[in-house]
Amino acid sequence: MIGFSACSNKINKQRKPVTNILITPSNKTLRQGNEISVFVQAKLFNAKLDRIELFIDNQILTISEKENFSYILQTKDLVLGHHSIGTKTYNRLGQSSTHYAQFLIVSDIEPQKPGFRIEKIFNHQPDFFTQGLEFYKGKLYEGTGNYGASKIVLYDSSKEKIVKEKKLEDSFFGEGITLLNGKLYQLTYKSQKAFVYDAHTLERLREFSFSSREGWGLCNDGKYLIMSNGSSIIHYLDTLSFQRVKSIEVCDHKGCIQQINELEYHNGAIYANLWMTNSIIKIDAQSGQVLSLYDLSDLLSYFDNKNMDVMNGIAFHPSENRFYVTGKYWPKLFALTLE
């Protein structure tokens, strides 16, 4: 049972109302689809109750004139992630108090663990700290990181030879990239800036600021830019104003998934590298539900390189119907079929 109570300082020798919220079941992590029973108790001092507003995420659920009442909350109607349930209690002297409790809604399914097949292996620049990888009109683009070494590169049809590159100023640490409508978008790590380039010439067209403290991965669904920032939350950005349109929180059946890194969008799903792992998760792009977990650790058997860092870089090739993956300082690029 989740509960809280609080009382205020005295105001004109009158005390504000005290409210308890009791939630059953008591586990603060609840699977989507579960029913939550909410019981509200109010205690008032020297004044009668006017009303109690019960709300979730600042949206009012019900208003009651009773000091004690119950409410049944259906979690199937709630998005995945963290939620705040609260009360605002008013007495007839015009005083009020607001109290909150937190809980988490997680997925009602356990992610599948499909396999994969290696279709082809290509050479990859072993000195590239890969941050973004994407195909656009059949051409492979890559964004790299590290201060003084961040760049965007365009490969030829072999996917191994660089035909064009654009270096970022030394003061910026390059992060994820994506391409949409003839433009290439590139995040930076801690500068809260992103850059827009011409996809063909790699000439910079403009820059914009974003509100997240850090920029990590970037992809698009054909309409919005979709970015990660190392947390469990993925943000959708408007391509003109670059303002946040909506956000989803990524959860499996156990909890929220942190350190979401490089992103790739395909067929209604977001594929994401998890930092410090060699795994990719498949995320429902609307709900944030983790659908599948791909463990690609077997790829490491193709290397004998102690300088390699973690996997990072996912690109889907539409005409080949394959995913391409690599990693930071990886000397190989893999074409895979994800089952």
Exposed/middle/buried for 208, CB within 10 Å: 0-12, 13-18, 19+?
A: middle
Instruction: Determine which of 20-29, 127-136, 288-297, 330-339 has the lowest per-residue pLDDT on average.
Output: 20-29
Domains and CATH numbers, the chain: 18-106 (2.60.40.10), 116-338 (2.130.10.10)
Question: What does the pLDDT average to over 223-228?
Answer: 98
For 163-189, write each residue's pLDDT tens digit. 999 999 999 999 999 999 999 999 999
Residue 155 has pLDDT above 80, yes or no: yes
pLDDT score, position 279: 96
Residue 196 has pLDDT above 70, yes or no: yes
Q: Are 184 and 202 in contact (CB under 8 A)?
A: yes
Residue 3 has pLDDT above 70, yes or no: no
What's the sign of the alpha-carbon dihedral 243, 204, 323, 273? negative
pLDDT higher for 23 or 292?
A: 292
pLDDT score, position 14: 56
pLDDT score, position 252: 97
Residue 77 has pLDDT above 90, yes or no: no
Which helix (H) or strand (E) is 282 found in, with range?
A: strand 279-284
Structure letter (DSSP) for residue 66: S
For 232-264, write each residue's pLDDT tens digit. 999 999 999 999 999 999 999 999 999 999 999
pLDDT score, position 66: 94
Question: What does the pLDDT average to over 48-67?
Answer: 94
Question: What does the pLDDT average to over 104-111?
Answer: 96
pLDDT score, position 46: 79
pLDDT score, position 8: 39
Question: What does the pLDDT average to over 132-152?
Answer: 97
Query: What is the SS3 assignment for 212-234?
Result: CCCCCCEEECCCCEEEECCCCEE
What pTM does this model have? 0.90
Residue 81 has pLDDT above 70, yes or no: yes
Residue 39 has pLDDT above 80, yes or no: yes
